[in-house]
């Protein structure tokens, strides 16, 4: 049985990860800025009769709050085995539509939220000599995804952060993995640019995204891929299969991948 924290656990990928952990018999803290949503998830998971779940309100942009939660879980249980720094938001739109608010919100949540999780978890795991940090990035962290470059930039940063940390942590008993999913059918797709100026992709972008990826992967299937990758201590967990194919294509022909991305830009511009 492991002790785990999942940020962004009230919905989508985070909820699916928490469900997988509890189904395995683990103890999970479901952390989310949506406290009521986190409590609903934790209550449901406790009804599974396997592992245990608790809810915690957490704003990942608050570094002190993240550190307090992670240390508190370690103090309560005597250890912290796994953390899933998963909280994130979708920021989309053409570059000329974006404001600094779009950039800052993406950086604050998608990048600094992960930094705060790593900063809180890594010292704990170094002290105990073991643990696994799992950061959620995106396929957008491996390929040139346009029409949302603040999101793309932060996800590339999370990939680089994770792989660099993995190299440092390997000799200290701490494992690090980064998750890079393609488009997943989660509430993220229906809430692009929350509380931000509108762009061509604001609100429900599911229709536009389905033009690029008609078959959206489910969060539950992704969670199974994530747990399999964590058990195998994979550096990069890329899913589903078409996401791995896209990543391979970028490595074989970066310029070709940019040309493919230009097609998506043309479709968005035409639909404005």
How does strand 131-136 pair with strand 217-218? unpaired
Distance CA 123, CA 242 (A): 36
Task: Return the number of other C-beta atoms located less than 10 Å from residue 22's C-beta.
Answer: 25
pTM here? 0.94
Please check the confidence at residue 74 and state whether its pLDDT lies above 80.
Answer: yes
Distance CA 258, CA 174 (A): 36
Q: What mean pLDDT do residues 167-185 have?
A: 95
Q: Is pLDDT of 47 > 80? A: yes
Q: Which is the catalytic residue, given 70, 122, 151, 217?
A: 151
Average pLDDT of every residue of the chain: 94
Is residue 246 pLDDT above 80, yes or no?
A: yes
What does the pLDDT read at residue 35?
Answer: 98
How far is Cα 177 from Cα 155, in angstroms, rounded to an integer? 14
- The model's pLDDT over 161-174, given as tens digits with 9 standing for 90+, comes to 999 999 999 999 99
Q: Would the CA dihedral through 121, 126, 131, 135 be positive or negative?
A: positive
| CATH classification of the domain holding 75 | 3.40.50.720
SS3 98: coil
State the total domains in the chain: 1
Mean pLDDT, range 190-206, rounded to an integer: 85
Q: How would residue 149 be classed by pLDDT, with cut points 50, 70 and 90?
A: very high
Show the tokens assigned to 17.
Answer: 């990860």
Q: What gap in Å lies between CA 152 and CA 144, rounded to an integer?
A: 8
What the block records as the tokens of 262 is: 């230009």
Torsion, Cα of 167, 239, 269, 98 (10° steps): -40
Q: Radius of gyration over alpha carbons of the chain, in Å?
A: 18
Distance CA 267, CA 197 (A): 21
144: helix, coil or strand? coil
SS3 205: coil
For residue 165, what are the domain limits? Answer: 3-271
Q: Is 173 helix (H, G, I), strand (E, B) or coil?
A: coil
Helix/strand/coil for 236: strand
Cα distance between residue 171 and residue 165, in whole Å: 11
Is 271's pLDDT higher than 90?
no
Q: Specify whether 217 is catalytic.
A: no
Among the residue ranges 26-30, 214-218, 244-248, the one predicted with the least confidence is 214-218
Q: Whole-angstrom Cα distance, residue 267 to residue 262?
A: 9
Q: Give the tens place of pLDDT for each residue, 108-128.
A: 999 999 999 999 999 999 999
pLDDT of residue 187: 77
DSSP character for 192? B
**pLDDT recorded at residue 208:** 65
Beta bridge partners of 217: 184
């Amino acid at each position: 049985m492991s002790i785990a924290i999942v940020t962004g656990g009230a919905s989508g990928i985070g909820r699916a990860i928490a469900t997988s952990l509890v189904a395995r018999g683990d103890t999970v803290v479901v952390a989310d800025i949506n406290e009521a949503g986190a409590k609903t998830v934790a209550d449901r998971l406790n009804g599974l009769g396997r592992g245990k779940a608790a809810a915690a309100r957490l704003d990942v942009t608050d570094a002190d709050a993240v550190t307090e939660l992670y240390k508190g879980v370690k103090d309560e249980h005597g250890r912290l085995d796994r953390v899933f720094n998963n909280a994130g938001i979708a920021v989309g739109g053409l570059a000329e539509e974006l404001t600094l608010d779009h950039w800052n919100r993406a950086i604050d949540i998608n990048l600094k939220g992960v930094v705060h999780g790593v900063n809180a978890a890594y010292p704990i795991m170094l002290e105990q000599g073991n643990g696994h940090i799992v950061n959620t990035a995106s396929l957008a962290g491996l390929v040139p995804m346009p029409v949302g470059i603040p999101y793309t930039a932060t996800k590339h940063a999370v990939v680089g952060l994770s792989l660099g940390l993995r190299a440092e942590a390997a000799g200290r008993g701490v494992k690090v993995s980064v998750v890079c999913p393609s488009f997943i059918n989660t509430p993220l797709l229906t809430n692009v640019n929350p509380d931000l100026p509108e762009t061509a992709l604001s609100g429900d972008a599911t229709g536009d995204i389905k033009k690029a990826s008609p078959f959206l992967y489910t969060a539950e299937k992704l969670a199974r891929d994530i747990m399999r990758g964590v058990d195998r201590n994979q550096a990069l967990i890329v899913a589903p299969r078409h996401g791995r194919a896209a990543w391979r294509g970028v490595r074989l022909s970066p310029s070709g991948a940019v040309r493919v991305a230009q097609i998506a830009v043309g479709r968005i511009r035409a639909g404005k």
